Amino acid sequence: MSDKSPLVGIVMGSASDAQAMRQCAAVLEQLDIPYEMKVCSAHRTPVRAHEFVSTAKARGLKVIIAAAGMSAHLAGVMAAGTHIPVLGVPMDGKLMGGLDALLSTCNMPKGIPVGTMSMGSHGAVNAALFAASILALSDAGIEKRLLAYREAQTAAVPEYPPE
């Protein structure tokens, strides 16, 4: 983690979500975007979750990334507590491969939106890239690094499959 003030807050419902969410953190580090990361459960540590979201704007966070599995209401709880953008990452591997978490995260009733990513580590990486896109709207340095990341990704794709 950087010693600059965090722009992105990553929260996860359990330490068991950390393996996937470290991939989110790794992309933010690659793009030199300062972040903070916490285990913050909507149901097991509701006071900690409330404290995190109610101070997010004042602490300078611009985007919150919330990952949870099973009955995954963490992203919705975060979005209910702030108007800054909340990106939800449903954790996979539970009921029906994570369909429970996918539906719980994405199917928010109108009024309080959660931008839902794909499941598991793919969603974790995409959440970091989506956060970078949001931040790039007002930060030319992040925009430059995001574009370089995408160019490098394109250059790394072989034209032909291996023999």
Q: Is 69 in the site for ligand RP5 (CB under 6 A)?
A: yes
Q: Which of 2, 16, 54, 153 binds ligand RP5 (CB under 6 A)?
A: 16
Shortest distance, position 106 Cβ to ligand RP5, whole Å: 15
Q: Is 10 in the site for ligand RP5 (CB under 6 A)?
A: no
> Which of the residues 70 through 89 are near ligand RP5 (CB under 6 A)?
70
Shortest distance, position 65 Cβ to ligand RP5, whole Å: 13
Phi, psi torsion values for 83, nearest 5 degrees: -95, -5
Q: What is the DSSP string of the chain?
A: --SSPPSEEEEESSGGGHHHHHHHHHHHHHTT--EEEEE--TTTSHHHHHHHHHTTTTTT--EEEEEE-SS--HHHHHHHH-SS-EEEEE--SSGGGGHHHHHHHH-PPTTS--EE--SHHHHHHHHHHHHHHHHHTS-HHHHHHHHHHHHHHHHTS-SS---
Q: Which of 63, 91, 114, 117 binds ligand RP5 (CB under 6 A)?
A: 91
Q: Which of 17, 65, 92, 108 binds ligand RP5 (CB under 6 A)?
A: 17
Task: Using the Cα atoms of residue 135, residue 54, residue 75 and residue 28 in order, give the sign of their dihedral.
Answer: positive
Shortest distance, position 44 Cβ to ligand RP5, whole Å: 7
Shortest distance, position 90 Cβ to ligand RP5, whole Å: 9
Q: Is 36 in the site for ligand RP5 (CB under 6 A)?
A: no
Question: Is 69 or 88 the residue whose CB approaches ligand RP5 more closely?
Answer: 69
Chain residues in the site for ligand RP5 (CB under 6 A): 13-14, 16-17, 41, 68-70, 91
